[in-house]
Amino acid sequence: AVPNRGTLVITFTIQKDAIAFNLTGKTVTASIRQEAHPIDIIDATLEDHAMTITVAATGTCTLTLSNADLAFLVAPGSPSTSTAFLVDVKVMSDNYHPQPYRLFVYAAFD
C-alpha cells in the first residue's frame, strides 16, 4: 500500500502472450479508477494519464503520479486501512489493455 501524498513511480513491463510487448513508436497511457466503482471517473487527470516508455524493446514503461494526482485517490482516514484502485494500462495505437494493476492507497497523516 502507498500513501495518497508525495510522488509515486510505478514501473510496468507490458507483455502479450507472456512475451514482452515492443513499445517502439507506441503511446502508452493509464487510467485509474476505484476498484469498487470501476465505471466512475475519479478525475479527468487520472484518465489516459501519460506514461513514459523507458525501454521500448522490452515493453518497460513508468507511470508517475504527482502529489496532486495522488490527492484524488481518496482513502479512509487511517493508515491501517486502504482503498483498492485499478490502474488500466493501454497501448493506444493497438488498443491493447494488459491485466489491470491493483494499487492499494491509504490516507497519509501529517
What digits encode the pLDDT tens for the residues 22-57?
999 999 999 999 999 999 999 999 999 999 999 999
The number of C-alpha atoms within 13 Å of 63 and in the hemisphere containing its C-beta is 22
pTM over 0.75: yes
pLDDT confidence of residue 110: 62
Kindly state the cell numbers that stand for 95.
488498443
Q: Under a CB-based contact definition with an 8 Å cutoff, are residues 84 and 56 in contact?
A: no
**Any bridge partners for residue 16, and if so which?**
19
Which helix (H) or strand (E) covers residue 67, if one does? Answer: helix 67-71
